[in-house]
Amino acid sequence: MTIQMNKDWWRGAVIYQIYPRSYQDSNGDGIGDLLGIVRRLPYIASLGVDAIWISPFFTSPMKDFGYDVSDYCDVDPMFGTLADFDAVVETAHSLGVRVMIDLVLSHTSDQHPWFKESRASRDNPKADWYVWSDPKPDGTPPNNWLSIFGGSAWQWDSRRQQYYLHNFLTSQPDLNFHQPAVQEALLEVERFWLSRGVDGFRLDTINFYIADKELRDNPPLSPEARNATIAPSVNPYNHQLHIYDKNQPENLEFLKKFRAEMEPFGAAAVGEVGDAQRGLEIMGEYTSGGDKMQMCYAFEFLSPTQPTPQRIVDVMAEVDRVASEGWPCWAFSNHDVMRHTTRWHLSPAAQRMFCTLIMCLRGSVCLYQGEELGLPEADVAFEDLQDPYGIEFWPEYKGRDGCRTPMVWEQDNLNGGFSNGRPWLPVSSEHLRLAVSAEEADPGAMLHHYRKAIGFRHVHAALKEGSHDGLKAEGDVIYFTRHHADETILCAFNVSDTPSEFHMLAGDWLSIGAELGSAQVPEDGQLNLGPWQVCLALKRN
């Protein structure tokens, strides 16, 4: 099998996120690596996904586990070599799977040569490649901006006698996108990886690239509006409305340049929009017009509490309102939030329903490694924590290590088949019973439901790339239709643990999706859905 040139491959794609530290260790050092991914690519292909997204594997001091890059164009020895990455691309493509990589462009590591030069003086060639500012007359930071990891977003540097901006860790200084040379350097990074065969990018914190040139203070955010998905109750970052430290309109011009570089390669990008208040609106801006990002995902379905039927309807209606030209990418879990099985207290039946639901929504889909096994959040003891976010805010917030523990491949192996050495994070004993080997042998396991749901999506063009008529809620039931060419599919979901009734829409409907537990279309039009049951039906023309 080979990858065919198709510039619209991303539309409706199912993308499988790999956190490389925790996927498969090939050399016994307890840390996953690129050759480990190569080993497991046949399994990934067996899921039926269109692409993989690999979290950062670039050279890094690993203060934020690869999201602090010190060399954009090389592989950290921890993960292997550039030749190993080439093997990932070659193997994935031979299996019909595209490869997307995670580019972190808003900031670098403080160990990056660019920053080392920039901080050396105020008049060197890269002096303005980062966001520097003099202190206020009283020596305090230039404004009230806060870091996501706690405290001020400004760090004093004794060499330049100035503050530098860091939206994340102090060791992650923000690049100055107002400097054209910075943008060109980052576009050159993009070209490097495109020439190496990647099919696209996941762009980390895409709305953080450009900060207000005047460095104006952010206004306060009222307590009732504080709805962040990560540590909302303990992090003062959620006390501000972030209108100046990110989300600047100048970013649109850079995104157009980035898109133009991808076009000849048929590559695509999905941008991570980190904004609790304006995420969907920014998604609309960044994916509009066909000349910026192909996809973006916001955090609406990464919410701490299970979305109600009305909440799901409202989110999709807002997307229709603010991003009608664009294309969303939906995720329930990723490497930054508690796994949704635990976060939403889902039973296996509820997990199956939500899996089927996300495969039916208009947009593309990101699945996080282990989600297909129904893995719950792992309980990681404080002494085993690696995540600086969790260490900072413990015990009110335990950080992100619980969703980053190693993938479990073998049930009868102490380390779950992940490594012959001591894993960098402990393997959850609760996860072992859900290992791939155990689920492959159980026809009723979650793994098989995910395969069926992905396959069902691919069989029906209406689900993969069609339009929808708007979601509606009737009690605990969400319903909508998807359309493409001459195919119309009705999708109804009971989002509750009690039976629900739903009156079928007018028309001649044929039951489909039996492999997903879909209810049969009733002759009298009155559909009785069991707890967490779905009904999928094809309209006869």
pLDDT at 228 (0 to 100): 63
Average pLDDT over residues 452-463: 98
Token pair in block for residue 39: 């080993």
Start-end ranges of CATH 2.60.40.1180 in the chain? 467-539
pLDDT confidence tier of residue 276, bands split at 50, 70 and 90: confident
pLDDT at 463 (0 to 100): 98
Tens of pLDDT, residues 316-335: 999 999 998 899 999 999 99
State how far the Cα of 97 lies from the Cα of 37, in Å rounded to an integer.
13
Least confident of 92-96, 156-160, 236-240, 373-377: 236-240
pLDDT at 363 (0 to 100): 97
pLDDT at 391 (0 to 100): 86
Please report, as a single letter, which amino acid is at residue 153: A
State how far the Cα of 261 lies from the Cα of 537, in Å rounded to an integer.
41
pLDDT confidence tier of residue 231, bands split at 50, 70 and 90: low
End-to-end Cα, the chain, rounded Å: 35
State how far the Cα of 179 lies from the Cα of 197, in Å rounded to an integer.
29
| pTM value surpassing 0.85 | yes
Least confident of 47-56, 266-275, 388-397: 388-397
More confidently predicted of 396 and 350: 350
Return the CATH number of 14-106+180-214+249-385+401-406+431-457, one of 3.40.50.150, 3.20.20.80, 3.10.580.10, 3.10.150.10.
3.20.20.80
Average pLDDT over residues 507-514: 95
pLDDT at 68 (0 to 100): 97
Average pLDDT over residues 11-16: 98
Whether the pLDDT of residue 167 is over 60: the answer is yes
Average pLDDT over residues 376-402: 90
Tens of pLDDT, residues 303-316: 999 999 999 999 99
Contacts of 14 (CB under 8 A, 6+ apart): 48, 49, 50, 51, 359, 364, 365, 367, 454, 457, 458
272: β partners: 297
Q: Is 2.40.30.170 the CATH classification of the domain at 467-539?
A: no
CA–CA distances in Å: residue 217 to residues 153, 279, 295: 12, 20, 30
Tens of pLDDT, residues 176-210: 999 999 999 999 999 999 999 999 999 999 999 99
Average pLDDT over residues 214-241: 81
Tens of pLDDT, residues 478-501: 999 999 999 999 999 999 999 999
Contact 48/14 with Cβ under 8 angstroms? yes
State how far the Cα of 143 lies from the Cα of 245, in Å rounded to an integer.
10
Task: Write down the catalytic residue from 272, 275, 285, 300.
Answer: 272
Start-end ranges of CATH 3.20.20.80 in the chain? 14-106+180-214+249-385+401-406+431-457
Average pLDDT over residues 380-397: 88
Task: Write down the catalytic residue from 84, 204, 300, 372.
Answer: 204
Residue 204 annotated as catalytic: yes
pLDDT at 430 (0 to 100): 96
Tens of pLDDT, residues 77-130: 999 999 999 999 999 999 999 999 999 999 999 999 999 999 999 999 999 999
Whether the pLDDT of residue 229 is over 70: the answer is no
State how far the Cα of 232 lies from the Cα of 57, in Å rounded to an integer.
29
Whether the pLDDT of residue 64 is over 60: the answer is yes
- By the 10 Å C-beta count (0-12 exposed, 13-18 middle, 19+ buried), 443 is classed as exposed
pLDDT at 226 (0 to 100): 80
What is residue 21's DSSP assignment? Answer: G
Of 53, 57, 113, the residue nearest 81 (C-alpha): 57
**What is the percentage of the chain residues whose pLDDT exceeds 70?**
98
Whether the pLDDT of residue 232 is over 60: the answer is no
Tens of pLDDT, residues 339-387: 999 999 999 999 999 999 999 999 999 999 999 999 999 999 999 999 8
pLDDT at 277 (0 to 100): 85
Residue 336 annotated as catalytic: no
Average pLDDT over residues 42-67: 97
Whether the pLDDT of residue 233 is over 70: the answer is no
pLDDT at 395 (0 to 100): 86
pLDDT at 358 (0 to 100): 98
What is residue 238's DSSP assignment? Answer: G
Can you state the angle between helices 82-94 and 34-47, rounded to 10 degrees? 10
Place of tokens 């992090």: 235
